[in-house]
Amino acid sequence: MNPMQGLSNRIAVVGVGNTPYGDFPAVSDYTLGAEAFKAAIADCGLNKNEIDGLLCCRVPFYARMGEILGLNPRWTMTLPGHGRMSGIAIAEAMLALETGAANHVALIYTNIGRSRRMNYGGDESASFWDPWGLTSPGASHALMFRMHMERYGTTTRQLAEVSVAFRNNAILNPDAVMRKPITIDEHESIRRIVEPLGLLDYCLINDGAVCMILTTRERAADLKKPPVLISGVGARDAFERAAIGNFDPEFWYDEVREAGSQAYEMAGVTKDDVDALMCYDNFSPTVLFSLEGLGFCGRGEAGSFVENGALGVHGRLPTNTDGGHLSNSYMQGWALNVEAVRQLRGECGERQVQDCEVVQYIAATPCTRSIIYTKG
């Protein structure tokens, strides 16, 4: 039994908000964070002074964020700007709410990497392997995808299905950064970054911010919109094999399976109940690894699973219906969790998944996390 079973359906997401996504050189992290916070407060109808828990992720200084928002929480936490932190943050907020350390938690994520020209490699992220020229998370995913090709015969055209499906989803999302149609052939011919990966296998880099507001199920009942419940969570880290950053020779298969199993069990659902999947897609191969670990297909079979638009809004497993990191926005998992909430509320317009009742978030990383959201 999942030791966190007692928290199933106890905590609700009551407010979500985000800024526009793009390139905003004149705007600070804090400005974006405040804008997302205001949107989330308006979304749930709470008085902002009732926020007594503040979690900041990738925000430079939590106290400055709190000062700007005029908050004096009794629970504050800050987490680094790593994609793996979004799932971690949401579970931490659950614990704070369940124990009474806070009654209403605002989680704020900000990112100004685009306008400040972040590279995600080279001297920005020094490692032992720099003398050999191995740098950037994309290169680690290229190494893993090469292994998937060699072991299972997966092709770059199959990988293209992921990028094309998410772009088609983004076209239905008016807020997405990239909405120009792409084809499998374009995925194949566009410039390579770290081969076997090309430009369309890489996430976007854009500025923006996201805010989520969580409270207990009981308190949620008084708020503006129907609550979305956190029904299950699952977690497993893989630090012992982390010598090459963002790389795992087994594609975090056991970790994804374990985090997924914990989440399903806690929520009392199976993979077959999942109406939409929100899958951390820093690079397109991560999606294949996640599908296999969660058991949506057999090990090594994700290449054929994703063919023929399987991940589209109207496909057999609607995935990253907002366009994901590849085409919507690089909000490091946060926007995907917001999309899960909006799908369950039925707020997604043209990209709405019909009869959407169970949505799963999965991030296959050295800190693998999964969350299952259901309608309240």
Partner 1 sequence: MMNSYDKPLPTIDEYSKGYWALARQHRLSVQVCRHCGHRHFPASPVCPSCLSDAQAWEPVSGHGTLVSWVTFHRAYWNAFRDELPYHVCVVQLDDGPLVVGNFGNGIPENVKMGMPMKVQFEDVTPDVSLARFVPA
Residues of this chain that bind partner 1 (CB under 8 A): 119, 121-123, 126, 128-136, 139, 142-144, 146-147, 150-151, 191-196, 240, 243-244, 247, 249
Q: Closest Cα to residue 68, out of 48, 85, 45, 98? A: 48
Rg of the chain over Cα atoms, rounded to whole angstroms, equals 19
Q: CA–CA distance from 247 to each of 118, 119, 145, 269, 361 (Å)?
A: 21, 18, 10, 30, 21
Give the residue with the Cβ less far from partner 1, 244 or 297: 244
Following DSSP, what letter does each residue of 237-279 receive, concatenated? E--TT-SSTT--TTTTHHHHHHHHHHHHHHHT--GGG-SEEEE
- Which residues on neighbouring strands pair with residue 77, listed in sequence order? 55
Q: Closest Cα to residue 363, out of 236, 244, 264, 240? A: 236
Question: Per the residue annotation, which of 152, 280, 361, 373 is the catalytic one?
Answer: 280
Task: Give yes or no: 152 in active site.
Answer: no
Q: Which residues neighbour 222 within 8 Å (Cβ) at sequence distance 6 or greater?
A: none
State the DSSP H helix or E strand holding residue 295, giving kind and residue range, or none if neither.
none
Nearest approach in angstroms of CB 206 to partner 1 is 19
State the DSSP H helix or E strand holding residue 292, giving kind and residue range, or none if neither.
helix 284-294
Task: Give yes or no: 280 in active site.
Answer: yes
Nearest approach in angstroms of CB 207 to partner 1 is 21
Give the residue with the Cβ less far from partner 1, 136 or 231: 136
Nearest approach in angstroms of CB 298 to partner 1 is 20
Nearest approach in angstroms of CB 325 to partner 1 is 19
Catalytic residues: 280, 330
